[in-house]
Structure 1
């Protein structure tokens, strides 16, 4: 008891600490599904995939209500789109090499793979520009032109997004930052490229072959 106080002061005992796990030597990054960025990329691809599904649904809705398809224009030419498709499918191999070499943390080969993927991305973007000039319809000409340009525009946006990320990552791998977590980023970038590649064949068939079959 203290003077002027009606309650006893609680005893002050030091807190004891017990180490449960020492995480000092655990890695700060990982690969594949063990990486939080991988799950973020997967969620991003799922959300963007739903965007493609909605636009494709709108495309076939327009086909259904119009009957005659395409509207007031011949089907798009096949040359540049077919070349684009072949090169995109061929990019799976160097992309897989980039993923493999990144997981092995092989700096020289990762640099080589990223340079190759950057050049492929630039070539694809150039072909896409040529491809847009062979659609035979403006984006504001009619409903067919609008949905056609929207579908190609969405895929071009994803292509440009991954290309920008690849170029930035390539530059980083040639600097002092080319170590550690950057190798994990190489794998995540390769994973997103698979989504860009996988989303193209259905779009290619819908845009270039369906109007000819219809």
Structure 2
């Protein structure tokens, strides 16, 4: 039997070579399915109603559109944080993950105004319920990823830093891509599904 010395092999890898990548893909598949079902529920309810939205104005476009711009713009520092992590550039990770975190926090602040501008309550009728569910689901994903980003950001200023943390930043960026991509159909559903003839 020929034995090989594996001590020199890296203890971590990026992309599909990492177990965390597969975990992230599994979470994205599950959560993407939930988003798709919620969007389908919106259009199902809409197809069974004579008036939509039901006896109320559609949501105001300002805050949702502003949040869409903020979220799309956040893709740039997020991508740069991912690239810095894969290059093991600690200073780049600190910079771009910090900027990404600020974008996420800005999005959460604007989201508060967005909820206030929906022109419906969650318990007003089927329309109000599904709009609040869609916005609430996305907000939950947003808040959890911002929290995760904040923890990672803090770890990059401690002595508990090892190579696996760079993989964590890379996978965190992949999840942020999902949060960004998932928002676009939800945005169009909430803000233009109520305006379409």
The two structures have a TM-score, normalised by structure 1, of: 0.90
Query: 1:212, CA displacement in angstroms?
Result: 1.2
Match of 1:137 among 120, 124, 129: 120
Q: Structure 1: how far apart are the matches of 2:5 and 2:181?
A: 42
Cα distance in 2 for residues equivalent to 1:48 and 1:54: 10
Which residue of 1 is the match for residue 76 of structure 2?
93
Deviations along 1:32-72, one digit per CA (max 9) or x if unpaired, are: 11111001101100100000111111111111111311112
Per-residue deviation, residues 176-201 of structure 1 (Å, max 9, x unmatched): 12331111111000000000000011
Aligned to 2:99: 116
Per the alignment, residue 195 of structure 1 pairs with 178
Partners of 1:67 and 1:52 in 2: how far apart?
A: 25
Determine which structure has the larger helix proportion and give its number: 2
2:18 is matched with 35
Deviation (angstroms), 1:20 = 2.5
Offset at residue 19 of structure 1 (A): 4.7
- Which of the two has higher C-alpha Rg? 1
Is 1:105 matched up with 2:125? no
Runs of 4+ in 1 over 6 A off after TM superposition: none
Uncovered stretches (5+) of structure 1, i.e. residues with no partner: 1-17
CA RMSD of aligned residues (A): 1.0
Give secondary structure in 1 for the equivalent of 2:48. Answer: helix
Q: Is 1:102–1:183's contact at 8 Å kept on the other side of the alignment?
A: yes
Q: Does structure 2 conserve the Cα–Cα contact (< 8 Å) formed by 1:173 and 1:179?
A: no
- Aligned partner of 1:52 in structure 2 is 35
1:146 aligns to what? 129
Q: Whole-Å Cα distance in 2 between the matches of residues 121 and 90 of structure 1? A: 11
Contact 1:62 1:143 in 2 (8 A): yes
Instruction: Show the counterpart of 2:7.
Output: 24
